Amino acid sequence: MGKISRREFVIKGTTVTLGAGIMLKSGFGINYSPIKKSKVVEVFHPEAVAEKRVVNQAIVQDMLRQGLESLTGIKNTPLAKFINAGDTVGLKINCLGRPMLYTHHELINAMIAELKETGVKENNIIVWDRYESQMTACGFTMKDNTPGVRCFATEMDKEGVFHFDPEYVYKSDFDNPERRSEDGIICRFSNIFTQQCDKIINMAILKDHRLAGVTLCLKNISYGICNNNGRFHGPDHISTFITDIYSRTEVKKKIVLNLVDGLEACFQNGPVPRTPEELFTPKTLWLGTDPVALDTLGLEVIEAKREEKGYPALREIRPTIDHIAMSSRAGLGTNKKEEIEVVKVNMTA
């Protein structure tokens, strides 16, 4: 797919009534018929996380490498299937669960090492999320115009410093008007996503969410790359918003790899767990290019843990979990188990 122009994205991104989620909510269907199964690689290591939540950097590096090799079928520099040496690559992490749960530093470091081996220069790697305050609460140090790997947020704590694109917007009045910001019905996109990065690697966390049911690959992007989206945090609007944002042509084009960090996870009181008892340690990574398939499998893992702990199923108490099915109907991937090929890599100690 060729690079779309800024004008094309503005036109497609400002649709008020014809977003993919809106159409599906209204009864329109978008057929998704994969030519072959969506491949998801599941990598487990029993010693990835030790007592007192100590994550083993060397083991995580091996897990990521084996996962990438299995996903791509390439033994040397497997990321070259998705990334060119001259690319600027954004690692979209998740720090909302601060200070207890976030995309692990060890996994981010492992991905940076893989990118460097592929030939990507350190200064062309950006680790980012929406809010600086959340990133610093998770131990990240802001480094923008400095040598080495850069690390910063769309919305910085310093007054007046925002990395927003003045042209890339999403416009929708299918929301809760009482929760609109000064931008009204417009969501402005992060220019980290639209301008500064050529490719995006989506590094989501395995956790539940009190409104959406789960916050995995789809939600990490949709709620992480634009502002003024609290107005969609409700049962009538959240799924359509998630689907619409991820359905944008430029969004689908730029996200070349999705990953679910399941070294540690949250099964209750997400997205911001309050006590260690709400966490569990799958010691697993999931990798793929289909965000819907990954979210489908991630939901199953969380539901299984909730059942084990005696909690009701998310599907029963959080009906807004339909964003996964809606995204599948919008053609973003598949949520049908028979259309998902799960390749399990069980590493031994």
* Strand, helix or coil for residue 61: helix
Burial class for 156, CB neighbours closer than 10 Å (0-12, 13-18, 19+): middle
154 closest CA partner among 115, 182, 188, 111: 188
Residues 6+ apart with CB under 8 A from 299: 213, 214, 216, 314, 321, 324
pTM: 0.92
pLDDT tens track, the chain, 349 positions: 334 344 444 444 444 434 787 767 655 555 555 457 999 999 999 999 999 999 999 999 999 999 999 999 999 999 999 999 999 999 999 999 999 999 999 999 999 999 999 999 999 999 999 999 999 999 999 998 889 999 999 999 988 899 999 999 999 999 999 999 999 999 999 999 999 999 999 999 999 999 999 999 999 999 999 999 999 999 999 999 999 999 999 999 999 999 999 999 999 999 999 999 999 999 999 999 999 999 999 999 999 999 999 999 998 988 778 999 999 999 999 999 999 999 999 998 6
* Domain parsing of the chain, residue ranges: 6-346
11 closest CA partner among 173, 170, 209: 170
